[in-house]
């Protein structure tokens, strides 16, 4: 039976469905239109920038790092360009397999693999890391021909730091190295402008002047705007701003003098600091042994690092800046000045020196070669009387000694323009309370004061502090903050910006009292402990030898150098200035574990004065004897540096610089 449909009802349903479908389509079109309006109007700038970034890349251009020169224009740190093979681990499917394949094209040593592994552990995986540096032209050509085989691997031209004189002056120059994660984290606290300036920079100063003057040496980063293909390859350059090279540092250091002193130390450990007392400029800043900073530029290998870090000689320790030593008898002139300034003693006060000093039932002795007898201040300094200064320390007390000698810079940072300086120790009762935790250790005992008078006990200073203090004393109290950098050259503006010679508030020393001390120090070179080292000198100098204990002796124990391990023998020290009439140099030198100051340290000071005041180098024979600690006055006739052209010698440096003193 045929069922008749309600035609009208069916038609109404159809129209309803059609209307619903049309409404749905209209709704969707409205959404699309609104989305289009949103993207085209509200999001236009943002999307345009993102679209351009897919096509245009902004590449930072790292500037040439500034040069470092000595006072005579000798280049101590420079740059050179070389090709580097770099890998981005996040873009390499199978890293080890790719490296194995690369090794068939370019020589990759095991140390290169270890370095890459270390860098990957220290940084994020999407960064680019060098796997081989300083590629030859042949290696570059071989890789370029097969580059398609190695996704995520590319060749880049990079600037490398170079220290042309190798180990000479390494502690004052420092070195650069790859930025580590701790340094990157610290950079986050920088100003936005500084952070932007370091985009693309992978190496910064890590030590010495390279670290302290990082901002001046770095320069201003440039950029290059390039159009890239879908594969990320540069197609054409759209715009660029060239980088501004870093400024050049001109040091107060005379690198020929620096090299001469380092050569005279040879394999011995120690330090020497020479300062111009007229302005605080540092003329020599020696720490031995040295190291080659070029080892660190490309990432030091494990073996070299182990040799440097585990050596008993501690070649990475900057002894001039961070090495603290008891000053021994070189402290006596300062004690005498403190006595005069405080009124505790006059130059004419007489003290009997029987060869020992008794205090609290303890016998404080003197070296067996001391003559003893009746001592005034001058004779006590010239003959280095221990008893005179034992008794002086007892009369003054530790707090008065601290009060009088603290302003000379003992136990304080000098403020030199390189990071890492230590304070040293100039003891006082308050110092001891802060230094120790146990109550019984915090108490100051009167017997501890006695040895302070001869530069032993808790006294510990750097050679920088000793040289700076001597500079203050001989200049009548005028104090300067020591400086290694003499001026900064702006390579763009060609301006020479002199560094400020920071004159500090002078000490109120009486000229007559200063004259007493300086005349006594002159006497040391004429009739005292350093007279042999200064025989025949064509200038007047003053100085004071010192022999300081490296380790303490047990009660009743006698010191015998031949029966003591080399690293436990006494240190050899000398502080000196010249010329006496108008000093232009003050220095402090220590030769570790080398015995008497007159035999090892004083001869080095003599050669420094000969170089600076007479323009002379010692003979090769004299240098050899000085290295052995057997030289006194110079052997033979000193000769010009230009006549000695052995590679690596100070003379070769002088000849290379085109100047001869």
The residues carrying an active-site annotation are 329
Token pair of 176 as six digits: 């650069």
Helix (H, G, I), strand (E, B) or coil at 95: helix
Q: What share of the chain is helix, strand, coil (3-state, %, to 5)?
A: 40, 20, 40
Contacts (Cβ under 8 Å, ≥6 apart) of 195: 187, 188
CA dist 76 and 249 (Å) reads 10
> What does the radius of gyration of the chain's CA atoms come to, in whole angstroms?
35
CA dist 256 and 292 (Å) reads 17
Instruction: Say how far residue 478 (Cα) sits from the centre of its chain.
Output: 26
Q: Which of 324, 394, 327 is nearest to 364 (CA)?
A: 394
Q: Which of 524, 659, 543 is nearest to 606 (CA)?
A: 543
Q: Residue 54 in contact with residue 232, Cβ under 8 Å?
A: no
CA dist 549 and 661 (Å) reads 38
Contacts (Cβ under 8 Å, ≥6 apart) of 82: 133, 134, 135, 157, 158, 160
Find the angle CA(312)-CA(316)-CA(322) to the nearest 5 degrees.
100
606: number of Cβ within 10 Å: 29
Helix (H, G, I), strand (E, B) or coil at 258: helix
Running DSSP on this structure, what letter comes out for residue 267?
A: T
CA distances from 266 to 255, 269, 307, 381 (A): 16, 8, 18, 31
Q: Which residues are bridge partners to 263 per DSSP? A: none
Helix (H, G, I), strand (E, B) or coil at 193: helix
CA dist 432 and 558 (Å) reads 28
| C-alpha torsion 475→477→481→485, nearest 10 | -10
CA dist 173 and 170 (Å) reads 5
Q: Residue 488 in contact with residue 219, Cβ under 8 Å?
A: no
Q: Is 186 exposed, middle or buried (CB count within 10 Å of its CB: 0-12, 13-18, 19+)? A: exposed
φ, ψ (nearest 5 deg) of residue 608: -65, -45
Q: Which of 521, 531, 523 is nearest to 602 (CA)?
A: 531
Torsional sign, CA 241, 242, 243, 247: negative
Q: Residue 555 in contact with residue 583, Cβ under 8 Å?
A: no
Running DSSP on this structure, what letter comes out for residue 4?
A: P
In a 13 Å sphere around the CA of 126, the CA atoms on its Cβ side amount to 0
Cis bond upstream, residue 326 (ω within 30): no
Place of tokens 């004897």: 625
CA distances from 477 to 87, 278, 411, 513 (A): 60, 11, 17, 11
Cis bond upstream, residue 579 (ω within 30): yes
481: number of Cβ within 10 Å: 17
């Amino acid at each position: 039976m045929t069922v008749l449909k309600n035609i009208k009802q069916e038609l109404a349903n159809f129209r309803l469905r059609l209307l619903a479908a049309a409404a749905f389509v209209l709704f969707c079109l409205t959404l699309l239109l609104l989305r289009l309006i949103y993207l085209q109007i509200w999001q236009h700038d943002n999307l345009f920038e993102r679209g351009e970034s897919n096509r245009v890349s902004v590449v930072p251009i790292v500037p040439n790092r500034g040069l470092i020169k000595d006072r005579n224009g000798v280049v101590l740190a420079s740059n050179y360009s070389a090709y580097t093979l770099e890998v981005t681990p996040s873009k390499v499917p199978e890293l080890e397999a790719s490296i194995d394949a690369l090794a068939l094209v370019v020589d990759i040593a095991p140390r290169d693999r270890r370095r890459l592994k270390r860098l990957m552990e220290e940084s994020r995986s999407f960064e680019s890391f060098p796997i081989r540096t300083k590629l030859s032209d042949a290696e570059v050509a071989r890789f370029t021909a097969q580059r398609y085989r190695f996704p995520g691997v590319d060749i880049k031209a990079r600037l490398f730091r170079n220290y042309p004189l190798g180990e000479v002056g390494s502690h004052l120059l420092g070195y650069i190295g790859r930025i580590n994660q701790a340094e990157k984290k610290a950079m986050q606290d920088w100003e936005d402008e500084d952070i932007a300036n370091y985009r693309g920079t992978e190496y910064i100063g890590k030590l010495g002047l390279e670290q302290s003057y990082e901002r001046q040496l770095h320069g201003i980063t440039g950029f290059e705007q390039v159009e890239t293909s879908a594969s990320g390859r540069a197609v054409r350059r759209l715009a660029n701003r060239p980088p501004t090279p870093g400024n050049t540092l001109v040091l107060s250091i005379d690198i020929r003098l620096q090299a001469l002193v380092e050569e005279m130390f040879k394999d011995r450990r120690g330090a020497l600091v020479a300062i111009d007392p007229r302005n605080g400029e540092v003329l020599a800043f020696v720490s031995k042994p040295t190291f080659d900073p070029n080892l660190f530029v490309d990432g030091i290998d494990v073996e070299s690092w182990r040799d440097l870090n585990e050596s008993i000689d501690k070649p990475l320790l900057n002894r001039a800046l961070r090495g603290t030593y008891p000053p021994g008898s070189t402290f006596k002139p300062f004690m005498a000045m403190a006595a005069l300034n405080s009124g505790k003693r006059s130059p004419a006060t007489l003290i009997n020196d029987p060869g020992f000093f008794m205090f609290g039932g303890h016998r404080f002795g003197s070296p067996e070669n001391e003559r003893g007898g009746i001592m005034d201040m001058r004779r006590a300094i010239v003959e280095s009387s221990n008893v005179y200064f034992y008794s002086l320390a007892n009369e003054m007390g530790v707090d008065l000694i601290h009060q009088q000698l603290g302003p000379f810079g003992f136990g304080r940072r000098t403020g030199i323009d390189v990071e890492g300086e230590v304070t040293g120790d100039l003891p006082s009762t308050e110092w001891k309370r802060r230094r120790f935790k146990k109550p019984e250790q915090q108490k100051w005992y009167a017997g501890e004061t006695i040895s302070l008078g001869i530069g032993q006990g808790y006294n510990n200073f750097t050679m920088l502090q000793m040289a700076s203090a001597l500079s203050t004393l001989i200049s009548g109290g005028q104090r300067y903050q020591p400086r290694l950098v003499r001026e900064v050259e702006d390579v763009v503006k060609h301006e020479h910006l002199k560094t400020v010679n920071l004159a500090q508030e002078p000490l109120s020393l009486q000229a007559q009292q200063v004259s007493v001390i300086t005349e006594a120090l002159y006497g040391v070179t004429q009739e005292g402990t350093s007279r042999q080292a200064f025989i025949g000198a064509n200038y007047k100098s003053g100085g004071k030898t010192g022999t300081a204990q490296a380790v303490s002796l047990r009660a009743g124990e006698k010191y015998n150098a031949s029966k003591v391990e080399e690293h436990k023998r006494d240190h050899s020290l000398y502080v000196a200035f010249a010329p006496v009439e108008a000093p232009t140099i003050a220095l402090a030198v220590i030769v570790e574990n080398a015995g008497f100051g007159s035999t090892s340290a004083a001869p080095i000071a003599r050669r420094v004065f000969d170089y600076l005041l007479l323009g002379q180098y010692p003979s090769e024979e004299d240098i050899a004897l000085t290295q052995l600690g057997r030289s006194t006055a110079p052997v033979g006739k000193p000769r010009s540096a230009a006549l000695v052209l052995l590679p690596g010698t100070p003379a070769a440096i002088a000849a290379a610089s085109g100047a001869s003193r």
